[in-house]
Amino acid sequence: MPETVITVQGSHDAFHPAERGTVTVAVGFEGPDQAPVVARTTQGTAALVAGIVDRHDPDRGPVTWWASDRIQVWSHRPFNDQGEQVPLVHHAVTTTRAKFRDFEELARWVERAAAHPGVRIDGIEWALTERTKAEAVGDVRARAVADARLKAQAYAAALGLTDLRCVALADPGMLGDRVHSSGSPVAAAFSRAAKAEAPGGLALTPEDIAVSATVDARFVAS
């Protein structure tokens, strides 16, 4: 009896609570004279970094990693509402990132930092630890393969075929077929209702991390 080729795509999603939150903070000033603008930005950055260094411990946290970029300085000559150029305006800014494992401490630190002149909170990125992410990716990949097999079994059964075996397995699009991909094996973040709240202060809502995997599989059935 000739074999029937069945090509399917399997996928699986899993959600995990965020384990790390990386906050990005800018410190910047502007004004007519460059020297005081640079000085205020440098001093503000030093104060911000000091508060991070006091909390930094790679193993126990609350800050497990941090980095601060070099100061950026530039000038421009804006136009007023009459279309006339006015004197130069000087700008200076730094960007600092800090990764927290303690979200309540992160909320408290963000609230205090945001109150300082020249400080702008540019956002918080939620993530898993590398170990958790590797385990999660391995699990969803295995479940995506199982999903592909279940689909192939259902198709084979509909055709009255019972003997099913896999002859090819690949990442989406690598089997040479134009199969629409509904996902990818990389992690993506989706908002979920998990809160980190400093008592009496700022409340943060970490995003759960959605780890997804999609595979293409080819089976033959008879």
- Tell me which fold the domain 4-17+131-221 belongs to: Translation Initiation Factor IF3 (3.30.110)
Q: Which two tokens stand for residue 169?
A: 């397995």
Q: Does residue 42 surpass a pLDDT of 80?
A: yes
Report the pLDDT averaged over residues 148-154: 97
Q: Looking at residue 209, what is its pLDDT?
A: 93
Q: Would strands 203-204 and 208-221 be described as parallel, antiparallel, or unpaired? A: unpaired
For 124-128, 141-145, 188-192, 212-216, which range has the lowest pLDDT when averaged over its residues?
A: 188-192
Share of the chain above pLDDT 90, in %: 75
What b/e sequence results for 190-213 when a residue is b if at least 16 CB atoms lie within 10 Å of its CB, and e otherwise? eebeeebebeeebebebbbbbbbb
CATH class of the domain defined by 20-127: alpha beta
Instruction: List the structure tokens of 38.
Output: 């640079």
> Helices in 4-87 by DSSP H: which ranges?
34-53
pLDDT band of residue 186 (cuts 50, 70, 90) is: very low
**Domain-wise residue ranges, the chain:** 4-17+131-221, 20-127
**Contact (Cβ atoms closer than 8 angstroms) between residue 145 and residue 168:** no
Q: What is the DSSP letter of 102?
A: -
Task: Summarize the confidence of residues 157-186 as an average pLDDT.
Answer: 79
* DSSP-based three-state secondary structure for 28: strand
Average pLDDT over residues 85-98: 93
Number of neighbouring beta carbons within 10 Å of residue 49: 19
* Mean pLDDT along residues 13-21: 95
* DSSP 8-state secondary structure symbol assigned to residue 117: T
Report the SS3 class of residue 37: helix
Contact 62, 55 (CB under 8 A): yes
Q: Write down the pLDDT at residue 82.
A: 79
- Global pTM reads 0.78
Q: Residue 188's pLDDT band (boundaries 50, 70, 90)? A: very low
Query: Measured in Å, how far apart are the chain's first and last C-alpha atoms?
Result: 7
